[in-house]
């Protein structure tokens, strides 16, 4: 089975956790914008990024 996930790649999105779980049992293709390091710094999300 193959799954297509479309979402903005932010370390704290539910989709990130779903993607990791689904990759264990099926093929996953992701689509969507990524958030720049500058934005992660502005939003104070770098600590979260390191945990994911």
pTM exceeding the 0.75 threshold for the entire prediction: no
In which domain, by residue range, is 36 found? 2-51
Query: pLDDT higher for 46 or 2?
Result: 2
Provide the β-strand partners of residue 49.
none
Residue 52, both tokens? 């994911």
Tally of domains in the chain: 1
Extract the tokens encoding 5.
């996930």
What is each CA distance from 16 to 19, 52, in whole angstroms?
5, 8
Q: Which residue, chain included where needed, has tokens 């969507």?
A: 32
Q: How far is the CA of 47 from the CAs of 11, 25, 29, in angstroms? A: 10, 28, 26
Per-residue pLDDT tens digits for 12-37: 888 989 999 999 999 999 999 988 88
């Amino acid at each position: 089975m193959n799954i297509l996930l479309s979402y903005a790649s932010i370390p704290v999105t539910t989709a990130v956790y779903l993607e990791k779980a689904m990759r264990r049992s099926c093929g996953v293709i992701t689509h969507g914008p990524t958030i720049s390091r500058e934005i992660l710094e502005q939003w104070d999300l770098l600590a979260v990024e390191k945990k994911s």
